[in-house]
Each structure stands twice: as structure tokens, then as C-alpha cells.
Amino acid sequence: MIRFLLHILLFISLGACTVENKKSPKVLVKEQVKNIGTISISDTTKVDFRIYNVGGAILKIDSVSASCECTVPNFVKRNIAPNDSADLTVSFAPLAGGDFEKAIVLKSNIDSVFTILKFRGTVKDENHNKNQH
């Protein structure tokens, strides 16, 4: 009988955990890493990410930061309702030629706190090539 009651308590406690998880916010970004291809060093490029809240509570974005000063995130909507989304636009003004990978860090009220988004590509430096010939 005691074993039966313990099983029932375990079942109820697992059910409570499942209900609690549904009431938490959850971030979904379909493309967390984007390859933007080859860009010119003279161009400022915009990279867009769509952030979805697939959880059951409001997703609160506390901060959005970039891995370097050549990358500037623009994110207006700070609270995302369940089953809603918001757009994050990142401006990238390259400082040097070559391959690159940049990171954007979202700090929010999800369990893992941080969500990392990345974009990568190659910067073509036309001025560098002219000086070599």
C-alpha cells in the first residue's frame, strides 16, 4: 500500500513539473547561426533574426549585446507574449577583410538565461587587393 501511494505521489509531482514548464517562457530561433555569404568591407550589412516565444509565459528580454563594436543589435520589443514573435535586426560594419563570425547574446527570463545567435561570412576588401597589384 505504501508503495502504491509513493507511485501516486511521484506521478502527481511529475505532472506538476510538466505544468510548470508549460507556464515558462521558451525561446525559439529557427536559424540561430546564419551564413550571410560574401560582403564588401565598404558596406554595412543588416542581419535579421526572428525570436519566437513558444512557452506559456511572457518572455522578457533584459538585454541584447554583441561580440564587438562593429556589430550593433537593434531590438525594440522587450516583452514577447506566448505564441508571439519579435524581430531583432543587427547592423554589421566590417573593419577588416577575411572570414568572420559574430555573436549576439540575449539575456532573458528563460531557464538557461542566455541565448546565443551567430552570423558568419567573408568580408571582401577591395582596397587591400588594389594595393597588392
Average the pLDDT over 76-100 and give the result: 95
Q: Answer whether 59's CB lies under 8 Å from 79's CB.
A: yes
Rounded to the nearest 5 degrees, what angle is found at the Cα of 74, between the Cα atoms of 73 and 76? 140
Which residues does residue 115 pair with via DSSP β-bridges, in sequence order?
Answer: 106
Model pLDDT for residues 15-71, shown as the tens digit of each residue: 444 444 569 999 999 999 999 999 999 999 999 999 999 999 999 999 999 999 999
| pLDDT for residue 9 | 45
What domain range is 86 assigned to? 2-132
Q: Into how many domains does the chain fold?
A: 1
| pLDDT for residue 76 | 83
* Sheet strands side by side (includes 27-28): 27-28, 45-53, 85-92, 71-74
Average the pLDDT over 99-116 and give the result: 96
User: CATH number of the domain that 21 lies in?
Assistant: 2.60.40.10
| pLDDT for residue 127 | 75
Per the model's pLDDT, the better-predicted residue between 18 and 118 turns out to be 118
Query: pTM for this structure?
Result: 0.77
- pLDDT at position 4 over 80: no
Task: Report percent pLDDT > 70 for the chain.
Answer: 79
